[in-house]
Amino acid sequence: MEKTAQKHWPKIDVLETIRLRRSIRKYTDQPVEWDKIGTVVDAGRVAPTAGNLQSWRFIVIESGHKRKAIAEACMQQYWMEEAPVHILIVMMLKKVREFYGQRGVEFYAVQEAAMAAQNMMLAAHAIGLGTCFVSAFDESRVIDILGLPGDIKPMGIVALGYPAETPEEPLKYRIENVTFMDRWGQQNIARIKDVDNVIWNFRVVERGMKLGADVVKAVDLHTKQARKRLSERLAEKAKEKAEEIKKKLEEKEAQEKKGKP
């Protein structure tokens, strides 16, 4: 990002941005300011590319009917229509083939475009916007909708807008279970055979513990409130009883006074 663009938006810790980004599939109808769209696209522009070839282009789509057509082309993912902006990332196959041959087409172009997409999504999150990456689409329909020439291939779409949902943190594997040491399959917890199963159990236990803690808290609160209500009622009763005794004593005293010569 250029210095000028950086100046406009608050600085947020990159690790926090990475951790808190979520795929957003519900958006408000608030339009996204052009400056912000620019900041997001610019973050894609500065992503790493093979040999600095920059063999992608970005198409910003605001038009309502095009977004509707794109949502349909994306296997009827109609939630996409709600996102006020779509950014299509396309790969320039001819360019990358000239420099890197088939490997360039199969790997580098896709990798570059994916890196640009991730940069955009992180930048968007950092400035208060939501995104969702979408690559389930009918390629020929997307090509038609946007008039892409023969050597330009769509890679993915970043849906962009102000989020209208706060999704929960999705389940992710633990680092120790997706990272090997020195060679394939060498885990630091070597005894774990079925990682998926164990992780799921870990998560169930974690969630169970959290639920348990929440229940204990709720019961505790309820008990405290019930205890408070009971002691208030007892105090009220004691007060009534004291009033009654006081009244009786006063009456007795009055009668005794009357009885005196």
Ligand X SMILES: Cc1cc2nc3c(=O)[nH]c(=O)nc-3n(C[C@H](O)[C@H](O)[C@H](O)COP(=O)(O)O)c2cc1C
Pick one of 58, 77, 120, 124: the residue that binds ligand X (CB under 6 A).
77
DSSP letters for the chain: --HHHHHHS----HHHHHHH--B---B-SPPPPHHHHHHHHHHHHTS--GGG---EEEEEE--HHHHHHHHHHTTS-THHHHSSEEEEEEEEHHHHHHHHHHHIIIIIHHHHHHHHHHHHHHHHHHTT-EEEEE----HHHHHHHHT--TTEEEEEEEEEE-BS--PPPPP---HHHH--SSSTT--SSTT-S-HHHHHHHHHHHHHHHHHHHHHHHHHHHHHHHHHHHHHHHHHHHHHHHHHHHHHHHHHHHHHHHHH--
Q: Which of residues 142-181 bind ligand X (CB under 6 A)?
A: 170
Is residue 60 a contact partner of residue 161, using CB atoms and an 8 Å limit? no
Pick one of 17, 54, 111, 135: the residue that binds ligand X (CB under 6 A).
135
Stretch that binds ligand X, among 9-17, 60-68, 126-134, 146-154 (CB under 6 A): 126-134
Least spacing, CB of residue 185 vs ligand X, in Å: 25
- Tell me if 124 contacts ligand X by CB under 6 A: no
Residue 39 or 77: the one with the smaller Cβ distance to ligand X is: 77
Pick one of 20, 46, 136, 211: the residue that binds ligand X (CB under 6 A).
136
How many residues of this chain interact with ligand X, rule: CB under 6 A? 10
Residue 117 or 148: the one with the smaller Cβ distance to ligand X is: 117
The amino acid at 241? K
Residue 22 or 86: the one with the smaller Cβ distance to ligand X is: 22
Residue 94 or 155: the one with the smaller Cβ distance to ligand X is: 155
Q: Residue 130's closest CA among 138, 140, 120, 139?
A: 120
Pick one of 85, 132, 148, 199: the residue that binds ligand X (CB under 6 A).
132
Residue 5 or 110: the one with the smaller Cβ distance to ligand X is: 110
Q: Which of residues 7-36 bind ligand X (CB under 6 A)?
A: 22-23, 25
- Tell me if 133 contacts ligand X by CB under 6 A: yes
Stretch that binds ligand X, among 5-13, 46-54, 128-136, 173-181 (CB under 6 A): 128-136
Least spacing, CB of residue 193 vs ligand X, in Å: 26
Residue 17 or 187: the one with the smaller Cβ distance to ligand X is: 17
Is residue 101 a contact partner of residue 165, using CB atoms and an 8 Å limit? no
- Tell me if 125 contacts ligand X by CB under 6 A: no
The Cα 88–Cα 60 span in angstroms is 7
Least spacing, CB of residue 57 vs ligand X, in Å: 19
- Footprint on this chain of ligand X (rule: CB under 6 A): 22-23, 25, 77, 132-136, 170
